[in-house]
């Protein structure tokens, strides 16, 4: 009886392993994704028949092994077949390309993969999805009931204005263990993560890090393919895909140009400007296209920029009143030129200067001898139009002097030689 009981126990264990594996396969076949998905990055690991490494695989977690069976713990290669040990499944990659490659790993507890996605226009708040396909490459029953099963962790972060990595809501995410199966089976794992509002700052980098929480040993062996990062439009519509936003001088004003690749419920844009990147005013309002899947080009003009640096941004507003800001662009605008003439050169007792200025402004005049010594200084308030100002110079010795006139911003308006007779 004891022998029969032992035999039956082994039989039921085998059935249990098979049933468990089949059940897991069925439940894992559900797609990990989102409605209105827009793929921002996809890693398929390429094609070919020779082994390669990957710049995204962290050397602190895994070691690249070029040839031979992947016997040691913590080694990997990018290759076109899962069978990198004799007892592993024989399978092509998940992508389905001819000689398609995948990441094949003899795992251990490690952080093994990291990739940073960059968008110069910035990532808007909303829901993003990270997913991949993974296979337990061990054939069913290897290592028995004590098999160590891979358990992946997804960490998704954005680079903040303080230059620190901040987790998205929902990160980290720990996926279910990857069970053994009677045949080679790819399962989809991953989940959704939320980028919260970051105010006027738009993150331009999002980092995806993958880890394996299971120690090295019999059973922790897996293949990975088709790592995907997407935006979930239906989960919280990204109102526009802004492909460019630029500012350039045009005459005495500033021309602002931007383009969109798609628009969802886009009512209008407010073009805002600031002289200090803090206090903003609206320059003009431009109607949006509503809904569009084609490239749209927009233009606005600021006829009254301030002298110096001007900052601009777009406030995009949905039909429901929700709004988001673009990145900020800046441009320097030169103020109106002031024409200056020295009336008396050579001069005797008085050095006379005329100003033809478009605006009222403060200027400073400095007269120095050829050794660089300051011999006369004046600060004048210049009104718009033609203005004459004098420097008394009766006590100066005869000879050459340097006259320098600057505006209130320190810009040199005049620098030249004058002679005292």
The whole-number pLDDT of residue 4 equals 37
Beta-bridge partner residues of 347 = 420
Domain boundary among 333, 361, 386: 333
- 277 dihedral zone (left: phi>0; alpha: psi -120 to 50; beta): left
The whole-number pLDDT of residue 253 equals 87
Q: Say which CATH number the domain at 195 has.
A: 2.60.120.260
The whole-number pLDDT of residue 16 equals 39
Domain boundary among 212, 235, 258: 235
The whole-number pLDDT of residue 165 equals 97
Does one domain contain both 136 and 193?
yes
Does one domain contain both 19 and 135?
yes
pLDDT digits (tens, 9 = 90+) for 280-324: 999 999 999 988 878 899 999 999 888 888 999 999 998 888 888
pLDDT mean across residues, the chain:
86
pTM assigned to the model: 0.54
Q: Which residues of 45-65 are buried (b: 16+ CB within 10 A; e: fewer)?
A: bbeeeebeebebbbeebbeeb
The whole-number pLDDT of residue 30 equals 33
Residue-number span of the structural domain to which 404 is assigned: 339-420
- How crowded is the C-beta side of 167, counted as CA atoms within 13 Å? 9
CA 291, CA 238: separation in Å to the nearest integer? 12
pLDDT exceeds cutoff 60 at 22: no
Does one domain contain both 214 and 248?
no
Per the structure, how many domains does the chain have?
3
pLDDT digits (tens, 9 = 90+) for 95-120: 999 999 999 999 999 999 999 999 98
The whole-number pLDDT of residue 126 equals 85
Tokens 């337990």, residue located: 136
- Read off the tokens for 117: 């996605």
pLDDT digits (tens, 9 = 90+) for 344-394: 899 989 999 999 887 788 899 999 998 999 999 999 998 888 899 999 988
- Read off the tokens for 14: 């085998």
pLDDT digits (tens, 9 = 90+) for 392-410: 988 999 999 999 999 887 8
Among 197-201, 258-262, 345-349, 365-369, the range scoring the smallest mean pLDDT is: 197-201
Spatial CA neighbour of 123 closest among 43, 36, 191, 41: 41
Q: Which residues of 360-390 are buried (b: 16+ CB within 10 A; e: fewer)?
A: ebebebbbebeeeeebbebebebeeeebebe
CA 109, CA 136: separation in Å to the nearest integer? 16
Does one domain contain both 208 and 350?
no
- 69 vs 19: which has the higher pLDDT: 69
Domain boundary among 172, 203, 235: 235
């Amino acid at each position: 009886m004891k022998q029969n009981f032992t035999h039956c126990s082994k039989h039921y264990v085998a059935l249990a392993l098979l049933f468990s594996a089949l059940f897991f396969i069925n439940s894992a076949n559900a797609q990990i994704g989102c409605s209105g998905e827009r793929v921002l990055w996809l890693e398929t690991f390429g094609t070919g028949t020779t082994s390669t490494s990957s710049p995204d695989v962290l050397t602190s977690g895994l070691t690249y092994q070029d040839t031979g069976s992947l016997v040691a713990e913590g080694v990997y290669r990018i290759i076109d077949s899962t069978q990198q040990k004799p007892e592993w499944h024989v399978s092509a990659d998940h992508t389905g390309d001819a000689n398609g490659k995948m990441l094949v790993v003899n795992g251990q507890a490690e952080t093994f993969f990291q990739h940073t996605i960059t968008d110069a226009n910035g990532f808007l708040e909303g829901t993003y999805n990270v997913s991949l396909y993974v296979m337990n490459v061990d054939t069913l029953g290897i290592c028995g009931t004590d098999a160590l099963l891979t358990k992946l962790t997804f960490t998704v972060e954005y680079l903040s204005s303080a230059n620190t990595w901040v987790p998205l809501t929902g990160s980290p995410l720990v996926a279910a263990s990857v069970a053994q199966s009677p045949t080679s089976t790819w399962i989809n794992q991953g989940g959704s993560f939320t980028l919260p509002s970051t105010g006027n700052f738009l993150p331009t980098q999002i980092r995806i890090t993958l880890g394996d929480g299971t120690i090295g040993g019999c059973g922790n062996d897996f293949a990975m393919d088709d790592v995907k990062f997407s935006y979930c439009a239906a989960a919280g519509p990204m109102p526009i895909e802004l492909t460019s936003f630029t500012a350039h001088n045009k005459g005495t004003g500033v021309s602002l140009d931007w383009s969109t690749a798609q628009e969802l419920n886009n009512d209008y844009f407010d073009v805002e400007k600031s002289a200090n990147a803090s206090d903003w005013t609206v320059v003009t309002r431009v109607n949006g296209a509503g809904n569009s899947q084609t490239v749209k080009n927009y233009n606005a003009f600021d006829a009254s920029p301030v002298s110096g640096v001007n900052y601009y941004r777009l406030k995009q507003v949905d039909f429901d009143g929700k709004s988001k800001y673009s990145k900020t662009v800046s441009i320097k605008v030169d103020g109106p030129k002031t024409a200056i003439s020295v009336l008396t050169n050579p001069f005797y007792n008085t050095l006379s200067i005329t100003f033809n200025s478009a605006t009222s402004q403060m200027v400073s005049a400095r007269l120095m001898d050829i050794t660089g010594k300051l011999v006369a200084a004046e600060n004048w308030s210049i009104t718009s139009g033609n203005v004459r100002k004098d420097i008394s110079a009766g006590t100066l010795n005869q000879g050459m002097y340097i006259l320098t006139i600057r505006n209130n911003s320190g810009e040199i308006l005049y620098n030249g030689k004058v002679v005292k007779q």
